[in-house]
Amino acid sequence: MKQLLDDPWQGIENKFPVGAKLKGRVTNITDYGAFVELEPGIEGLIHVSEMSWTKKNVHPGKIVSTSQEVEVQVLEVDPVKRRISLGLKQTMRNPWEQFVEKYPPGTEVEGEVKNKTEFGLFLGLDGDVDGMVHLSDLDWKRPGEQVIEEYKKGDKVKAQVLDVDVEKERISLGIKQLEADPFAEPGDLKRNAVVTTEVTEVKENGIDVKIVGTEFTAFIKRNDLARDRSEQRPERFAVGQKVDARVTQFDKKARKVGVSIKALEVAEEKEAIAQYGSSDSGATLGDILGTALKQREKKDD
């Protein structure tokens, strides 16, 4: 009977209820955690996973030291196995909760590039937490696999907070969201619109162009370079040359703009025939187009 009364583990779950916060002294440090003496004869273990919110792969000896007095929280009590599980990080505020309070979704933040992966960029943020910019959130117009090559470790980068999942300890960031989505407000750019483009690169199978006055780019393939097959030669164009074209595709979902010089020439030909010629007029196509050209030049003057 005396032995039962002297057993310090008797009724231990009442003495150290789960959730209670108390102070103890670190008595031993191992690879898997630190032992804390709560009272003479009673020790609990802080497992390495419960030592820090953000330091996941460090030795416990880098977080606490022997004989150090620490505040801990009781996580579990097993009087049969004589084990008490303790948490050190639970006595501190969850840094992801603090982060989302200070930087809610939509807020602009700045962080340092800590890592580059096949998924995106990892940025070190305020509060010693990391956020990830997925490849798809790097740029509105260019593929993420291409854009990510422009970043290197140590770069200071601005981004927008997209989402914070406190439970999963994840912060989603976006760099492209700092600028307006060009497809959301394209202005006058729409299908069948006539635009002026500037040649940015001449290729064997077509030309790359930028639509003047916008951030949109497009590729005009060889058979769209002219109505006449003999003129469908990319080499007749030069970088920097301005060329009018017709918008044949404006797909917000696919985020793609298509333009065609051929489509513009065909449309202008139809318009010219409708205005200056008819099937029984006897005028040749060359005559009709010549008249249309003269009328346009008069209008321009």
pLDDT band of residue 30 (cuts 50, 70, 90) is very high
pLDDT digits (tens, 9 = 90+) for 121-147: 999 999 899 999 999 999 988 889 999
> What average pLDDT does this structure show over 69-92?
94
Four-residue CA torsion sign, 131, 137, 138, 144: positive
Instruction: Evaluate if residue 278 carries a pLDDT over 60.
Output: no
Q: Which of 167, 154, 169 is nearest to 121 (CA)?
A: 154
Domains and CATH numbers, the chain: 20-90 (2.40.50.140), 99-178 (2.40.50.140), 194-266 (2.40.50.140)
> What average pLDDT does this structure show over 41-63?
92
Instruction: Evaluate if residue 10 carries a pLDDT over 70.
Output: yes
What are the backbone angles phi and psi of residue 223, rounded to the nearest 5°?
Answer: -75, 0
Lowest mean pLDDT among 18-22, 40-44, 218-222, 273-277: 273-277
pLDDT digits (tens, 9 = 90+) for 209-238: 999 988 888 999 999 999 999 999 999 999
Token look-up 């440090």 returns 29
> What average pLDDT does this structure show over 171-175?
97
pLDDT band of residue 288 (cuts 50, 70, 90) is very low
> What average pLDDT does this structure show over 35-59?
92
Query: Model's pTM, two decimal places?
Result: 0.68
pLDDT band of residue 296 (cuts 50, 70, 90) is low
Per-residue confidence (pLDDT) for residue 2, from 0 to 100: 43
> What average pLDDT does this structure show over 183-201?
86
Pairing of strands 120-125, 83-87: unpaired
Cβ proximity of 98 and 134 under 8 Å? no
pLDDT band of residue 254 (cuts 50, 70, 90) is confident
Q: What is the mean pLDDT of the chain?
A: 87
